[in-house]
Amino acid sequence: MLSLVILTRNSREYIKACLDSVFMQDVRDVEVFVVDNASTDGTKELIREGWPQVRLLENRDNLGASAARNQGIERSSGEWVLTLDSDVVLGKGFLKGFDVDQSRFAPEVAMVQPNVLDRDGKTIYSQGIYLSALRRFFDLNRGKSGDFSGNGGKKIIGPCSAAAFYRRSMLEALKEATGYFDERFFFLVEDADLAWRARRSGWKVLFDPRRVCFHAGNSSGTDKKLRQYLSFRNRHWMIAKNEGPLGKAVLWVLSFPYELARILSMALFNKYLWTEMGTKNL
Please state the domain extents for the chain: 2-215, 224-281
Answer for the pair 152, 128: CB distance below 8 angstroms, yes or no.
yes
Query: Distance (Å, rounded) from C-alpha 251 to C-alpha 243?
Result: 10
Angle at 246 between CA 240 and CA 248, to 5 degrees: 30
Answer for the pair 80, 168: CB distance below 8 angstroms, yes or no.
yes
Query: Distance (Å, rounded) from C-alpha 177 to C-alpha 232?
Result: 23
The CATH fold of domain 2-215: Spore Coat Polysaccharide Biosynthesis Protein SpsA; Chain A (3.90.550)
- Residue 166: closest CA among 30, 5, 26: 5
Residues in the chain: 282
So what's the pLDDT on residue 154?
75
The predicted-structure confidence for 220-271, as pLDDT tens digits, reads as follows 667 889 989 999 999 999 999 999 999 999 999 999 998 899 989 988 989 8
Name residues of the chain where pLDDT drops below 50: 277-282
So what's the pLDDT on residue 153?
67
So what's the pLDDT on residue 146?
86
So what's the pLDDT on residue 277?
47
So what's the pLDDT on residue 242?
96
User: 3-state DSSP call for residue 9?
Assistant: coil
So what's the pLDDT on residue 151?
65
So what's the pLDDT on residue 20?
97
Q: Is the pTM of this model over 0.75?
A: yes
- Residue 138: closest CA among 160, 114, 113: 160
- Residue 185: closest CA among 258, 236, 140: 236
So what's the pLDDT on residue 282?
45
Going by the DSSP 8-state scheme, the letter that residue 123 receives in this structure is B
58 beta partners: 36
So what's the pLDDT on residue 278?
43
So what's the pLDDT on residue 170?
98
Query: Distance (Å, rounded) from C-alpha 7 to C-alpha 4?
Result: 10
